[in-house]
Amino acid sequence: MAGKKLETFLKQAAGVVQDFFPAGSPVFIPLLYSALVWAVKRKGDLEAEVSGLKLWLEPEIVNNKPDEFILDFFKGDPALTWTFSLELKNREIKSLRQAFRALYPVKGLEEPFLQSLFSEEIAKGDYRLIVAQFDSRLRLALDEIKATEKQLELWPALKDIGENFLSLGWALMAEPELRARLKANLEKNEQTEEEE
């Protein structure tokens, strides 16, 4: 499918999802992006996916990792090594562990919703901002989705968008490439809307 077609499709899809949220909501792009990624991965129950988000953040999964695992996580990624060089140099495990709690689900486990929610910060490499705003931004996003859940049409609408997306043959594209193109197009859409 040509790039133009994808752009049009995403514009329409964004229009549909946007209607469920208040103006200027930071949630609908991550939700649309995740819905399309999940559709490609044949995950039918979007509602379960979103409500399962908290599982990705279960403190025990990330909080109880050994110090060496945390150090390895930061040292294994050049951008993280650079950002947290001082803490790494001084072996400040306490603050690294705190940062790890936010960054591991985003950068390590690559949860699509969280990646989209913090896409701007990831693109800019502003990992400290992700750590600082992780709890509040995520809570806000989940609260907004929860409020929207009362509108029963949200999940079927997202499912329809996912199915239409699949019927256009996008599932054949490699996932990393697909994610990159979706991201670029959705962000472009968002910018255009803001300008308008």
Binding interface with other proteins (CB under 8 A): 38, 42-45, 48-49, 52, 55-56, 58, 60-61, 63-66, 68-69, 72, 76, 97, 105, 107-111, 175-176, 179
* Of 1 and 48, CB closest to other proteins: 48
Give the total residue count for the chain: 196
| CB 74, min distance to other proteins, A | 12
| CB 77, min distance to other proteins, A | 9
* Of 98 and 133, CB closest to other proteins: 98
* Positive or negative: CA dihedral 194, 36, 56, 119: negative
* Of 42 and 150, CB closest to other proteins: 42
Q: How far apart are the C-alpha atoms of 195 and 156, rounded to whole Å?
A: 30
* Of 19 and 135, CB closest to other proteins: 135
| CB 192, min distance to other proteins, A | 26
| CB 17, min distance to other proteins, A | 20
What does 145-186 look like in DSSP terms, one character per residue?
HHHHTTSTTHHHHHHHHHHHHHHTTGGGS-HHHHHHHHHHHH
